[in-house]
Amino acid sequence: MKDSRIPEPVLTAMSAGTHIIRAYREHLGYSVEDLAVACGLAAEEILNIESGLRYNKGYRDRIAKSLSLPAGILEAEPDILDAA
């Protein structure tokens, strides 16, 4: 995956199998708890998402906004009704 909007350390982590949200979170120096507070999700939900569980667009939007991600960067992720 090559996207000029994605920082090189994030791309490197993703190529090693790290979920995009975890890669961005770690790149920005946020803990799971930091992100949970920032986006209003439970830390367990963040961990579930980072482990590959699918989640809905509302969750994606909240996470993307909290991490100041480029618009649409998480749009390739599929929707489901309930997170985790």
Domain ranges of the chain: 8-67
Q: What is the CATH number of domain 8-67?
A: 1.10.260.40
What's the whole-model pTM score? 0.80
d(CA 80, CA 9): 29
Taking the alpha carbons at both ends of the chain, their separation in whole angstroms is: 25
- Summarised one tens digit per residue, pLDDT across range 17-72 is 999 999 999 999 999 999 999 999 999 999 999 998 888 888 888 999 999 987 67
Q: What angle do CA 80, 82, 84 make, to 5 degrees?
A: 105
